[in-house]
């Protein structure tokens, strides 16, 4: 979109006006406070230390701030060290899969690339520099691809060039040669340049960000900007003309913030940055987000302005209407103040105590020094006595001080307050614990810890960790939550095609175009997540309840196998184990198994199964009784039939025997007649 010629001047005037009324500018109150905090963190001394050292006094500097910050880091970083920091929640059942995909993609692909660096740099600045900053952006990146093809006909070569979308002749190299069969063939080399946008989250040094002094938060801030050093070569690569670059005010080493110089002094003998010439000439380039009515409709639009210089010496390089709903800068503050974008930090709570302990310890060490080697009074004497001053000034254990005449060496009495100094140091330690929650109990295990009861130790842990847990919740809700929402908008806008990425040992397909960028978002971390043992125990309790619900309710249970697998994954992650899907499988596999279970015939409840078993037993017993009765009846019938047949056979045998007897008598009588004998039986048979 083209704008009027005076629009750039209007924007330059807005930037010049707004940048003068920001917090974080060089020489401002925030810059001075951060310089003091960083010097205290690094253990810098005081202006009188050189003179004290010359007098032989202690120059000890307490490190309470460094100890507090460094002991707070492990617990806080462990809270945000899991694989899932933000979770997207669907607004309808149709968005459930999209929400799951967005959660995996944002946490694993975007956050996962530089998560530790983000956590360490940004949150560490929020602990002792009042506020830490990062930028979430999608810078343009040109990627050149070279493809070579051989043996193409003219029609094939033309079609290939047309399909590749090449518009410039310089991107095509062709070599033609005759062929006896096809006429002329071509060898092609195609150089295509693709523009890609990689979603990046980059930490920014705190001293390089300024924001309107009346801003309540970054999203509603009227003006917010950050700067970085770029060379003339960098600007040429970004497309700016050499004539415009020659007009820009150059950057010198004196332009650096005092906080930056303090950091460099730790390891560098000189903090002056070298001045470049030619293509290496250095410039302080700002990116600012402000509001301006670009189209004249009376409504101000969010505008991104790229400019060089400070105050009134500003040259606008470029400006554009910002396509997203807020500036891409995000702040992490450990102790936020209501209605203020920058609050206090953990270092502020102990900075005065560090000074107090430094002074107390110096007094204690000075008292010990005077007690062990008190000041002395030297009297040379009226009769010309003298003392060897060289041996007197080089005092040490076993030294001999030579004196002549009536010279005397008398020690001055020493009034020491070492006991009171030690009491003051202990008092300061107690105040540090009450303010920050960091104490020896949270730093390491003491010898008498095991003498306490488990309940007492648990209560003590809860009490001393409340401050750190609150800081963790502040970081989660006020830094990671808006950052996750904005990253989802970036992915939806610039990753506008399906992608396939290998995660957790397998390839997964994602289509950011189908994700609703305004999905609800929740933070996957909360109070108490820093204690791994307690978290594992919590997950174990949840797992037991889930198993009980599935056992009692079966298919009617609201808890599914996917819920069990999710709980097992979280329990493994809380225990510090990597790749939990190798132990319990993936949620996709659990969903498939769950679908198979749901499609299987429904199994009756244990009570119904018991009743059915009793019925089956009764039916089996009844059938057995019937079979027994039938068998007994058959047996009795067989016995009756056998007995009847036996009786019949017996009668038939008797009749046959009787007939045989009669037949034998007949034959006997006939024989007797033949031999002329007559017996009484024969006579009777003849009726005589």
36, 264 contact by CB (below 8 A): no
**Has this prediction a pTM greater than 0.85?**
no
Distance CA 201, CA 325 (A): 17
Tell me how far the alpha carbon of residue 292 is from its chain's centroid: 38
The pLDDT value recorded for residue 447 is 36
Distance CA 13, CA 319 (A): 13
350, 399 contact by CB (below 8 A): no
Q: Show the DSSP H helices in 181-257 as ranges.
A: 232-237, 242-246
Distance CA 227, CA 285 (A): 5
List residues bridging with 291 in a β-sheet. 302
Distance CA 234, CA 231 (A): 5
Q: Please, which pLDDT band fits residue 37 given cuts at 50, 70 and 90?
A: very high
* 563 pLDDT above the threshold of 70: yes
The contacts of residue 390 (CB under 8 Å, 6+ apart) are none
**For 217-256, what is each residue's pLDDT tens digit?**
999 999 999 999 999 999 988 888 889 988 888 876 656 7
Long-range interactions of 350-354: CB distance < 8 A, separation 24+: 350/64, 350/65, 350/68, 350/432, 350/435, 350/436, 351/36, 351/37, 351/40, 351/65, 353/64, 353/428, 353/431, 353/432, 353/435, 354/40, 354/62, 354/63, 354/64, 354/65
**Per-residue 3-state assignment (H helix, E strand, C coil) for 66-90:** HHHHHHHHHHHHHHCCCCCCEEEEC
119, 77 contact by CB (below 8 A): yes
* 117 pLDDT above the threshold of 90: no
**For 93-112, what is each residue's pLDDT tens digit?**
888 888 988 988 888 888 87
At 439, list the tokens. 């104490």
State the DSSP string of 342-367: --B-HHHHHHHHHHHHHHHHHHHHHH
Residue tagged 């650096």 (tokens): 256
Which helix H or strand E contains 102, and what residues bound it?
A: helix 96-105
* 463 pLDDT above the threshold of 60: no
Q: Which of 467, 460, 428, 424 is nearest to 445 (CA)?
A: 460
Distance CA 65, CA 472 (A): 19
φ/ψ of 78, rounded to 5, equals: -65, -35
List residues bridging with 183 in a β-sheet. 179
The contacts of residue 238 (CB under 8 Å, 6+ apart) are none
* 492 pLDDT above the threshold of 70: yes
The pLDDT value recorded for residue 623 is 87
Higher pLDDT, 533 or 59: 59
At 375, list the tokens. 């000041």
Label residue 416 exposed, middle or buried (CB < 10 Å: 0-12, 13-18, 19+).
middle
Q: Please, which pLDDT band fits residue 126 given cuts at 50, 70 and 90?
A: very high
Residues in the chain: 688
Q: Quick one: average pLDDT of 348-358? A: 90
Distance CA 565, CA 567 (A): 5
The pLDDT value recorded for residue 343 is 93
How many CA atoms, within 13 angstroms, populate the side-chain half-sphere of residue 583? 15
List residues bridging with 285 in a β-sheet. 228, 308
Angle made by CA atoms 133, 138, 140, in degrees to the nearest 5: 130
Q: Show the DSSP H helices in 502-605 as ranges.
A: 532-553, 561-574, 581-584, 587-599
Tell me how far the alpha carbon of residue 434 is from its chain's centroid: 29
Q: Please, which pLDDT band fits residue 167 given cuts at 50, 70 and 90?
A: low
The pLDDT value recorded for residue 525 is 62
The pLDDT value recorded for residue 372 is 72
For the chain, give the mean pLDDT. 81
The pLDDT value recorded for residue 532 is 67
The pLDDT value recorded for residue 431 is 67
Q: b vs e for 122-131, b when ≥16 Cβ sit within 10 Å of the residue's Cβ? A: bbbbbbbbbb
Distance CA 273, CA 408 (A): 59
Q: Quick one: average pLDDT of 61-67? A: 90
**For 146-165, what is each residue's pLDDT tens digit?**
888 888 888 888 888 777 76
* 291 pLDDT above the threshold of 60: yes
Label residue 529 exposed, middle or buried (CB < 10 Å: 0-12, 13-18, 19+).
buried
**For 174-222, what is each residue's pLDDT tens digit?**
888 887 877 888 888 887 777 778 889 999 999 999 999 999 999 999 9
Which helix H or strand E contains 418, and what residues bound it?
A: helix 418-436
At 591, list the tokens. 């969903």
SS3 state at 323: coil
List residues bridging with 284 in a β-sheet. 229
φ/ψ of 520, rounded to 5, equals: -65, 145
Distance CA 580, CA 569 (A): 5
530, 79 contact by CB (below 8 A): yes
Residue tagged 């047949």 (tokens): 645
* 434 pLDDT above the threshold of 70: no
Rounded to 10 degrees, the C-alpha dihedral 256/259/263/264 comes to 20
The contacts of residue 431 (CB under 8 Å, 6+ apart) are 353
Distance CA 472, CA 465 (A): 10
245, 309 contact by CB (below 8 A): no
State the DSSP string of 18-71: HHTTEET-TTSHHHHHHHHHHHHHHT---TTHHHHHHTT-------HHHHHHHH
Higher pLDDT, 511 or 419: 511
In terms of average pLDDT, the best of 17-26, 398-407, 440-449 is: 17-26
Q: Quick one: average pLDDT of 390-415? A: 68
């Amino acid at each position: 979109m083209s704008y009027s010629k005076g629009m750039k001047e209007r924007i330059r005037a807005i930037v010049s006006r707004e940048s003068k009324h920001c917090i974080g500018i060089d020489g401002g109150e925030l810059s001075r406070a951060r310089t003091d905090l960083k010097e205290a963190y690094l253990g810098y001394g005081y202006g009188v230390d050189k003179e004290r050292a010359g007098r032989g006094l202690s120059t000890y500097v307490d490190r309470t701030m460094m100890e507090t910050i460094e002991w707070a880091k492990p617990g806080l970083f462990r809270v945000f060290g899991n694989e899932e920091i933000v979770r997207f929640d669907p607004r309808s059942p149709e968005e459930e899969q999209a929400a799951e995909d967005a959660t995996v993609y944002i946490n694993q692909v975007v956050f996962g690339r530089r998560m530790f660096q983000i956590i360490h740099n940004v949150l560490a600045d929020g602990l002792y520099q009042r506020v830490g900053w990062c930028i979430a952006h999608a810078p343009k990146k040109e990627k050149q691809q070279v493809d070579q093809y051989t043996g193409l006909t003219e029609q094939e070569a033309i079609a290939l060039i047309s399909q590749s979308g090449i518009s410039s002749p310089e991107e095509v190299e062709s070599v033609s040669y005759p062929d006896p069969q096809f006429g002329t063939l071509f060898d092609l080399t195609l150089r295509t340049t693709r523009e890609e946008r990689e979603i990046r989250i980059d930490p920014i040094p705190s001293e390089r960000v300024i924001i309107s002094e009346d801003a309540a938060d970054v999203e509603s801030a009227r003006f917010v900007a950050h700067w970085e050093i770029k060379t003339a070569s960098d600007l040429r690569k970004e497309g700016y003309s050499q004539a415009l670059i020659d007009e820009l005010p150059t950057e010198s080493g004196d332009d650096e913030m005092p906080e930056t110089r303090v950091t460099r002094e730790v390891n560098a003998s000189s903090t002056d940055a070298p001045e470049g010439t030619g293509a290496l000439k250095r410039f302080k380039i700002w990116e600012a987000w402000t509001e301006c009515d670009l189209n004249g409709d009376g409504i101000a639009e969010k505008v991104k302005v790229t400019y060089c210089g400070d105050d009134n010496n500003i040259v606008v390089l470029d400006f554009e209407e910002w396509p997203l709903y807020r500036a891409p800068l995000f702040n992490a503050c450990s102790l936020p103040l209501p209605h203020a974008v920058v609050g206090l930090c953990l270092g502020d709570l102990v900075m005065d105590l560090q000074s107090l302990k430094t002074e107390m310890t110096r007094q204690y060490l000075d008292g010990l020094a005077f007690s062990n080697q008190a000041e002395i009074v030297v009297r040379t004497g009226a009769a010309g006595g003298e003392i060897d001053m060289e041996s007197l000034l080089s005092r040490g254990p076993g030294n001999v001080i030579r004196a002549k005449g009536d010279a005397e060496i008398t020690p001055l009495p020493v009034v020491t307050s070492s006991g009171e100094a030690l009491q003051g140091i202990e008092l300061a330690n107690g105040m540090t614990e009450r303010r920050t929650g960091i104490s020896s109990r949270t730093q390491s295990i003491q010898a008498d810890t095991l003498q306490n009861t488990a309940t007492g130790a648990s209560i003590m842990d809860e009490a001393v960790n409340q401050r750190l847990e609150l800081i963790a919740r502040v970081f989660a809700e006020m830094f990671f939550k808006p950052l996750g929402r904005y990253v989802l908008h970036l992915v939806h806008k610039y990753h506008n095609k399906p992608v396939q990425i290998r995660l957790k040992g397998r390839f997964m397909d994602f289509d950011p175009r189908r994700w609703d960028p305004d999905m609800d978002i929740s933070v996957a971390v909360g109070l108490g997540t820093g204690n791994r043992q307690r978290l594992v125990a919590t997950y174990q309790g949840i797992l037991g309840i889930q198993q009980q619900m599935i056992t009692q309710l079966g298919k009617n249970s609201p808890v599914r196998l996917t819920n069990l697998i999710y709980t097992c994954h979280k329990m493994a992650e809380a225990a510090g184990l990597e790749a939990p899907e190798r132990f319990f499988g993936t949620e996709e596999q659990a969903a498939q198994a769950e679908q198979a279970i749901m499609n299987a015939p429904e199994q009756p409840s244990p009570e119904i199964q018991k009743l059915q078993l009793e019925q089956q037993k009764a039916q089996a017993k009844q059938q057995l009784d019937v079979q027994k009765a039938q068998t007994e009846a058959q047996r009795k019938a067989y016995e009756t039939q056998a007995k009847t047949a036996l009786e019949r056979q017996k009668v038939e045998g008797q009749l046959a025997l009787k007939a045989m007897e009669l037949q034998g008598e007949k034959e006997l009588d006939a024989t007797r007649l033949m031999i002329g004998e007559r017996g009484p039986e024969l006579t009777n048979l003849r009726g005589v």
